[in-house]
Amino acid sequence: MPPRATPPPTSSDAPAVTAAQIEAAAARLDAGELVAFPTETVYGLGGDAENPEAVARIYAAKGRPATHPVIVHLGPHGDPQYWVDALPADAQKLIDAFWPGPLTLILKRAAHIPPAVSGGQDSVGLRTPSHPVAQALLDAFGARRGGHGGVAAPSANRFGHVSPTSAQHVRDEFGSSIYVLDGGRCEVGIESTIIDLSRGFAALLRPGRITPFEIADVLGVAPRLPDGSDATAPRASGTLKAHYAPRTPLTLAPFEVLEPLLVAARDANTRVALVARRSCAGVWADAHDVHFVAAPEDPHVYARELYGLLRALDRADVARILVERLPDTPAWAAVNDRLGRAAAAFEANP
């Protein structure tokens, strides 16, 4: 096997979360308060999914429009049937194949679930994460609700900003106002794949670690892809064109398009960041007036490091972030998607 660009995180990265901390966090959720917790994808900002006031607190903390649905997280002992009108056979197949893990399913919501979690839509997004701290929290909270508790949790960042992949990122977003369980760095690093099954067929709403090919393998049919032509697709904030953005303007383009921008920045005495694979960056990798970051050559490693990198570049005192567009291949689809949305935030005003 080739050497990895970055060693995978080990359990030693993760500070120990005690049983007492888990219980304290579950008690907060029970009382309608918010708790930030780690998942294998990104940190979530959680509240009791069946308590509309708790859900309203999530929207208020994030500054997110109330029409945007949030994902309901279930523990490994949770019961997806409780949340949905009916569990289609395809949903059960995907659950068996990918839960616990980075896959969210959009299904028809059961009538007794308050619509606040769905932004008023008739569906509900469900996911069982694999991170042990998330699982412990979700099962502890579920136990307080007769096994049926679910935790509504969007990514623990302010609306439109970069998702957090460490407890420190959450503190950077919200200060000390939010209780955070520190489960170390997130292993996947970008948000879950979202598959909509609420309309009688499978449709990909958001790409992630689990690819459309893996979904097709399980369902025997490929999910519809989000090409913008699906006018009945449910609203999902992660599907907005401009999302996941750093504060520093970001441009995403093939390296040959970035090179003239690097020359122009040099002529103007402006310091910019360049994120590109070393194999593509040529002399710019060593230019003293460029803040060069060698992009990981492996898509999974890139995804894991992406949001931490964007946050670091926001602190790097550069006028602009120039990012090499990755190859247009399935392996890079999720990373290209997040980078494309980060860049789109600046396209009206480059």
User: Could you list the residues that contact ligand TXA (CB under 6 A)?
Assistant: 39, 41-42, 44, 68-71, 102, 104, 106, 118, 121, 123-125, 127, 129, 153-155, 191-192, 194, 234, 236-239
Q: How far is the CB of 200 from ligand TXA (least distance, A)?
A: 15
CB 64 → Mg ion: shortest distance, Å? 8
Output the smallest distance, CB 278 to ligand TXA, in A: 30
Nearer to ligand TXA, 58 or 252 (CB): 58
Measured from each CB, the residue nearest to Mg ion is: 155
Among 51, 155, 192, 248, binds Mg ion (CB under 5 A): 155
- Identify which of 293, 324, 328, 297 has the alpha carbon closest to the alpha carbon of residue 311: 293
Q: Shortest approach of ligand TXA to residue 237 CB, angstroms?
A: 4
Q: What values do phi and psi take at 253, rounded to 5? A: -160, 160
Among 300, 343, 304, smallest CA distance to 324 is for: 343
Nearest approach, Cβ of residue 248 and ligand TXA (Å): 21
Contact 195, 71 (CB under 8 A): no
**Contact range with Mg ion by CB under 5 A, out of 48-56, 151-159, 292-300, 335-343:** 151-159
Smaller CB separation from ligand TXA, 102 or 296: 102
Give CA 242 to chain center in angstroms.
14
Residue (118 or 248) nearer to ligand TXA, CB? 118
Task: Compare residues 55 and 276 and give the one whose CB is closer to ligand TXA.
Answer: 55
Give the closest residue to 342 by CA, choosing from 323, 327, 326: 323
Print the SS3 string covering 46-70: EEECCCHHHHHHHHHHHCCCCCCCC
Distance from C-alpha of 245 to C-alpha of 314, rounded to nearest angstrom: 10
d(CA 95, CA 257): 42
Indicate which of ligand TXA, Mg ion, none lies near residue 91 (CB less than 5 to 8 Å, by partner kind): none
CB 238 within 8 A of CB 245: no
Q: Which does 41 bind (CB under 5 to 8 A by kind): Mg ion, ligand TXA, none?
A: ligand TXA
- Kindly state the smallest distance separating residue 46's Cβ from ligand TXA, in Å: 8
In the shown chain, the binding pattern of residues 100 to 139 toward Mg ion, with x for contact by CB under 5 A and - for none, equals ----------------------------------------
68: partner contacted, choices ligand TXA, Mg ion, none (Cβ within 5-8 A by kind): ligand TXA
* 212: nearest Cα among 237, 190, 194, 199: 194
Measured from the CB atom, the residue of 320 and 338 that comes closer to ligand TXA is 338
Count of residues in the chain: 350
Categorise residue 238: left if φ over 0, alpha if ψ from -120 to 50, beta otherwise.
alpha
Q: Of ligand TXA, Mg ion, none, which one sits near residue 100, judging by CB under 5 to 8 A according to partner kind?
A: none
Distance CA 12, CA 14 (A): 5
Closer residue to ligand TXA (CB): 22 or 116? 116
Both tokens assigned to 225 = 């892809």
Closer CB to Mg ion, residue 106 or residue 258? 106
Listed residue (49, 238, 234) closest to 155, CA to CA: 238
Task: State the Cα–Cα distance between residues 282 and 310, nearest whole angstrom.
Answer: 22
Least distance (Å) between residue 57 CB and Mg ion: 16
Which of 35, 321 has the CB closer to ligand TXA? 35
Vertex 322: Cα angle to 319 and 323 (nearest 5) = 145
Question: Which chain residues interact with Mg ion by CB under 5 A?
Answer: 155
